[in-house]
Homo-oligomer: A and B are copies of this chain.
Amino acid sequence: MTKVRIFVTYKPSVFDPQGDTIKKTIHALGHDEVADVQVGKFFDLTIDAQVDQVAKTVKEVAEKLLVNFNMETYTYQVMEEN
Known: A34-B61, A61-B26. A41 touches B40 (CB 8 A): yes
Question: How many of A's residues come within 8 Å of B, CB to CB?
Answer: 31
| A34: min CB distance to chain B, Å | 5
Q: Are A35 and B60 in contact (CB under 8 A)?
A: no
> Which residues of the other chain, B, contact A43 by a CB distance below 8 angstroms?
19, 22, 37-40
Q: Are A57 and B42 in contact (CB under 8 A)?
A: no
When chains A and B are docked, how far (Å) is the Cα of A42 from the Cα of B34? 15
Write 14 A-B pairs (CB below 8 A) sorted by A numbering.
Answer: A1-B35, A19-B43, A22-B66, A29-B61, A31-B57, A31-B60, A33-B57, A34-B61, A35-B46, A35-B47, A36-B46, A37-B44, A40-B44, A42-B42
